[in-house]
Structures are given as structure tokens and as C-alpha cells.
């Protein structure tokens, strides 16, 4: 028997990430954030491997990580624009959760499905934050894909990757609605 939850469906149909640069203080307390992380952890996780973990960045750690991104960008010969963009989310941020993909050796669960699980955690964390009244967005950026940055900034092991950096805070301004995909044009129905 169906038990619809119209409020949840309406939330999903109208949800909208908030640009990180528009998020201001205050941010969730540790206790409030633990509720959001618990909700985020309720994702598809074939084999119960938990192929992901969280790193919470707050306070002075934001500035430290921004400096690491700038230094790494200079080492790589990135343009001033790329360096500014790479450090910007940390310069402007107040609280972020790094969702780290940490693969688990498994004969049954392919690595790609573990990657999907980490991605699902990112979206679930954004949705949990939005449902709780916070503004949130999921970012990455060039530093996230650089092994040296990941190790220096977050102490990630060589086999760990950043699935996403989820910024959470108070919505400073409402973003305009953006164009959405034409679902009918992107859907194929197969009946036979």
C-alpha cells in the first residue's frame, strides 16, 4: 500500500542549492551537524562497506586550507584566476564538510559502486541541510582533484579522493531559479 509523503516530494521538486559565496554565519552547531551527517550516511551502500568518511572544516582551518590551495596553484603554474577560484571557497566559507571517498577492497562491490555511494552522501548531506533550513551546496574545484593538495590540506591517503565539499551556512540571499532539464527529452521508455 502506497504511503505518499507529499511534503517530502514537494521539497525534492523545489530544492535549490545555495551558492557557497552567499552562505553566511551562523552555521550549524556540532550537534546540529551530527544530525545532518547521520542523515547523509543513510545512502545506498551495497555490502555495508561505508566507502566514505567526513572531514569537517571550520574556523581558522578555512584560511589555512585557502593558503594551501594558493601555494599548490602557484607550484602548478596556475593562473591568478585559477588560484583565486581554488582558494575562494575556503576564503569565503564558514563551515564545510569534505566527503572523502575511501575505497574498500571487496570482491562483491565494484569500486564504481563505492564512488556512487560517496556521491550519494554528498547529495544527501546537501538535502539534509536544506531540509533543516540551512543553505548548502556541493563543490569540488581543481584543488580537490590534486593529490598533493588533498594530502597537505586534509591528510588523505593516496587511494582516497574528495567526492565533494559541502558548504553549509545561513542563506545570505536567495538565488534566482535556474533553467532545469527537459526531462521528457531525456527519458526513453522501454516496454518490450
pLDDT in tens, 54-112: 999 999 999 999 999 999 999 999 999 999 999 999 999 999 999 999 999 999 999 99
**24 in a domain, yes or no?**
no
Give 47's pLDDT tier (boundaries 50, 70, 90): confident
Domain region containing 139: 29-171
Residue 191, annotated as binding a ligand:
no
Q: Specify the range with the lowest mean pLDDT, choosing from 4-13, 24-33, 171-180.
A: 171-180
Residue 17, annotated as binding a ligand:
yes
Residue 22 has pLDDT above 90, yes or no: yes
DSSP SS3 for 169: strand
Which residues contact residue 167 at a Cβ distance below 8 angstroms, ignoring those fewer than 6 apart?
20, 23, 89, 93, 95, 96, 136, 137, 139
Residue 46, annotated as binding a ligand:
yes
**144 in a domain, yes or no?**
yes
Give this prediction's pTM. 0.95
> What's residue 176's pLDDT?
83
> What's residue 175's pLDDT?
82
**179 in a domain, yes or no?**
no
Residue 180, annotated as binding a ligand:
no
- The domain tally of the chain equals 1
CATH of residue 82's domain is 3.40.109.10
* DSSP-assigned letter for residue 22: G
**191 in a domain, yes or no?**
no
**23 in a domain, yes or no?**
no
Amino acid at each position: 500500500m502506497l504511503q505518499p509523503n507529499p511534503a517530502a516530494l514537494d521539497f525534492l521538486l523545489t530544492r535549490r542549492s545555495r551558492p557557497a559565496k552567499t552562505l553566511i554565519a551562523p552555521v550549524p552547531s556540532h550537534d546540529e551537524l551530527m544530525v545532518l551527517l547521520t542523515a547523509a550516511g543513510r545512502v545506498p551502500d551495497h555490502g555495508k562497506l561505508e566507502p566514505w568518511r567526513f572531514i569537517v572544516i571550520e574556523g581558522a582551518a578555512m584560511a589555512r586550507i585557502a593558503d594551501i590551495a594558493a601555494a599548490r596553484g602557484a607550484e602548478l603554474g596556475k593562473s591568478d584566476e585559477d588560484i583565486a577560484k581554488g582558494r575562494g571557497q575556503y576564503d569565503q566559507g564558514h563551515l564545510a564538510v569534505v566527503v572523502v571517498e575511501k575505497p574498500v577492497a571487496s570482491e562483491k562491490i565494484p569500486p564504481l559502486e563505492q564512488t556512487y555511494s560517496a556521491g550519494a552522501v554528498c547529495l544527501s548531506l546537501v538535502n539534509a541541510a536544506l531540509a533543516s533550513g540551512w543553505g548548502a551546496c556541493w563543490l569540488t574545484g581543481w584543488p580537490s582533484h590534486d593529490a598533493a593538495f588533498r594530502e597537505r590540506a586534509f591528510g588523505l591517503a593516496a587511494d582516497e579522493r574528495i567526492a565533494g565539499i559541502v558548504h553549509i551556512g545561513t542563506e545570505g540571499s536567495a538565488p534566482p531559479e535556474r533553467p532545469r532539464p527537459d526531462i521528457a527529452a531525456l527519458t526513453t521508455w522501454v516496454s518490450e
